[in-house]
Structure 1
Amino acid sequence: MTLAVYHGDLLAQTREWTNLHDDELRRRAVKAAGDKDIPALVSLTTAYLAHHGGSGVLTSPRTVEAYALGTRQFIEYATTQAINLLRPNRHDAQGYINAMLAQGRKPAGVQLKVAAAGCLYRALRWAGATEADPFRDARVPKDRTPGIIKRPPYSEDELADVLEKADIHAKFLLFLTAHAGLRISEALALEWEDLDEAAKRIHVRSGKGRKARIVAMSTSLARATRHYRGLFGPGGPDHTDGKRTTTATHVFRYASVMTARYHIQKAFTVASVKFRGFHPGRKYAGTRLLQQVKDFGRVAAHLGHESVDTTRKGYAQLAADDLKDDLSGW
């Protein structure tokens, strides 16, 4: 069986389960768990996530897809290990965690898989199919290495090499991630009216957790924005581009992260720089800004982090000898 990735109306998908009578809801959930029916259990987990999750029907498609993938992977493991989903034994959950760690998965990635599997069991309990809560006492060891050490930012030279080889779309996208510090989803969601190169600011309307914020532009980003708008903005010489048109208000031709990754990865390949995702660009922005302003709070606001700890642990670092000038007179 293959996993159907969510593309439709989340509310409609939720109602496939919430419209059922309680007895029918339980019957279907019990059957799906007994058969280890991946599509049905993914659908049930998605319905629970959208009905009782923290964001409800506003849960982002990326979160839905991540939980769907995690649910599928746990069911596949349960199938190979002959685990009874409705009556797991007390070692099954920790066994799943240990198996992933033994395969070399990092604790942070394992924690995401555990979150999805835990959501599956919350969904099964919600449906009345079981009372089992196998992940309640399961433990994933903490990784003490800061995220910025494990996954460092792109260097100045790496970005310069890629910018030299990138086409106009990839170059502008790099500026938005490495100077404005935008998440890739925030960059792709931009509309022309969100960019104000005269005032050097960007209006991010729906960041992580649906939080809006105003982000300052660097001088070079403001210059790049003027150039990009002149080429591709409404009324520009190239106002149509592939499946998306600038008259439809969106800034980028890329409709999805996968498409953006494909195109920008080509620029990295031509520049002989290893592409490590979009986040190292955000980390470049965070680290460079911190070295200038020496204020984690201001950097966190620029990156759209709710907690300064997130910025401190994973997105920005001061040089090891940052205090040498302050200590020189001691």
Structure 2
Amino acid sequence: MTLDHYRGTALAQADTWLTLHDDELRRRAVEAARDHDVVTLVALTLAYLTQQGSSGVLTSPRTREAYALGVAQYLGHAAASAINVLRPGRHDAQRYVQAMLAAGRAPAGVQLKVAAAGCLYRALRWAGATEADPFRDVRVPRDPTSGLEKRPPYTEDELIEVLEHADLHTQFLLLLVAHAGLRISEALALTWADLDEGARRLHVRSGKGRKARRVAMSARLARATRQFRVMHAPGGPEHARYRRPGRDPEFVFRYATPQAARYHLGQVFKQAGVDFRGFHPGRKYAGTRLLQQIRDFGRVAAHLGHASVDTTRKGYAQLAADDLKDDLAGW
């Protein structure tokens, strides 16, 4: 089933549920659960996120999309397995987890699907449709393989090869990811006012968890920023041709979605003969190279915008296996 995504604001979508009388809210939720109505139950879950979620109306579009897909997947499983959504059996939720693992889905992906399904049931309880909480005690096994092993950073040689094939536009984007360590959403949200190439700093105004931070630029990124500003900023010779209609000229990049950025950067990787594995291997390159240089997980975590050093340690940066050999040489 293809979801018909709501195109209004998150608050407007929530209001279509919040304005209902409690009895009508419950009736619609019960009816949707009975019929395995994916579109209605996704809308109910997103309304709950907007009204009762920890981030409320500020929940990121990416989180909303992930939860929508997760709810749709669980409902598809429930329909195929003849699960009563409002009165699931006590083994049904754990069986869902085992089915995903048996199909080859990674534990981290399974955990995200469980979070989405759990949110669906919180929304149903919020609507008064059920008291069921089947995912409360579900267990998802931990994956012992580190994130760096599963999805390693780009190598120095790979980045050099790609940068040699990149035009000014894609070179600037790649350096923001691989030198400044920005998430792609952070890079695409940059405005011209956020860039200070003279001081070799940039301002991320709303990173993950809506946290702002200042990020140092490498010398090469600062040069690329100056060149990009000269050509593409308002008043520059390429601004009119570069600017996409409908995109506010204050933003640095002409496109707003990771999908568009993936297409453009993927083309350059293809020309360079390098496998494009997404944007995170670029962030991992920044983390690993910086850690090997300064040997301080805390500072690397701050550069990447991680709330926990453990996140950096487990998935983004590692020291070489023989890192202590010089220190032990005199023992």
TM-score bucket (shorter structure):
over 0.9
Answer yes or no: is the 8 Å Cα contact 1:205–1:211 preserved in 2.
yes
Partner of 1:295 in structure 2?
296
Gaps of 5+ in 1: none
Which residues of 2 match residues 20-35 of structure 1 at below 5 A? 20-35=20-35
Output the CA distance in 2 between the equivalents of 1:307 and 1:244: 39
Output the CA distance in 2 between the equivalents of 1:38 and 1:228: 45
Once the 2 structures are TM-superposed, how far is the Cα of residue 6 of structure 1 from its aligned partner? 4.6
Answer yes or no: is the 8 Å Cα contact 1:154–1:283 preserved in 2.
yes
The CA deviation string for residues 50-85 of structure 1, in whole angstroms up to 9 with x for no partner, is: 111110000011100000000001001111111110
Answer yes or no: is the 8 Å Cα contact 1:148–1:315 preserved in 2.
yes
Answer yes or no: is the 8 Å Cα contact 1:6–1:64 preserved in 2.
no
Gaps of 5+ in 2: none
What secondary structure sits across from 2:202 in the alignment? Answer: strand
Answer yes or no: is the 8 Å Cα contact 1:181–1:286 preserved in 2.
yes
Output the CA distance in 2 between the equivalents of 1:257 and 1:7: 18
Partner of 1:229 in structure 2?
229
Which residues of 2 match residues 23-172 of structure 1 at below 5 A? 23-172=23-172
Answer yes or no: is the 8 Å Cα contact 1:26–1:127 preserved in 2.
yes
The CA deviation string for residues 209-246 of structure 1, in whole angstroms up to 9 with x for no partner, is: 11000000000000110111111012100112252588
Output the CA distance in 2 between the equivalents of 1:244 and 1:320: 50
Output the CA distance in 2 between the equivalents of 1:245 and 1:25: 37
Output the CA distance in 2 between the equivalents of 1:246 and 1:81: 45
Answer yes or no: is the 8 Å Cα contact 1:186–1:206 preserved in 2.
yes
Partner of 2:318 in structure 1?
317
Q: Which amino acid aligns with 2:276?
A: F
Output the CA distance in 2 between the equivalents of 1:327 and 1:122: 55
Output the CA distance in 1 between the equivalents of 2:147 and 2:129: 39
Partner of 1:259 in structure 2?
260
Give % identity.
71
Q: Which amino acid aligns with 2:286?
A: A
The CA deviation string for residues 261-287 of structure 1, in whole angstroms up to 9 with x for no partner, is: 111111111111111110000000000
Q: Which amino acid aligns with 2:193?
A: E
The CA deviation string for residues 108-151 of structure 1, in whole angstroms up to 9 with x for no partner, is: 00000000000000000110001111111111101122111111
The CA deviation string for residues 304-325 of structure 1, in whole angstroms up to 9 with x for no partner, is: 0010000000110000011111
Q: Which amino acid aligns with 2:299?
A: R
Output the CA distance in 1 between the equivalents of 2:285 and 2:108: 21
What is the alpha-carbon root mean square deviation over aligned residues? 1.2
The count of aligned residue pairs is: 330
Answer yes or no: is the 8 Å Cα contact 2:247–2:255 preserved in 1.
no
Output the CA distance in 2 between the equivalents of 1:94 and 1:23: 31
Output the CA distance in 2 between the equivalents of 1:221 and 1:313: 27
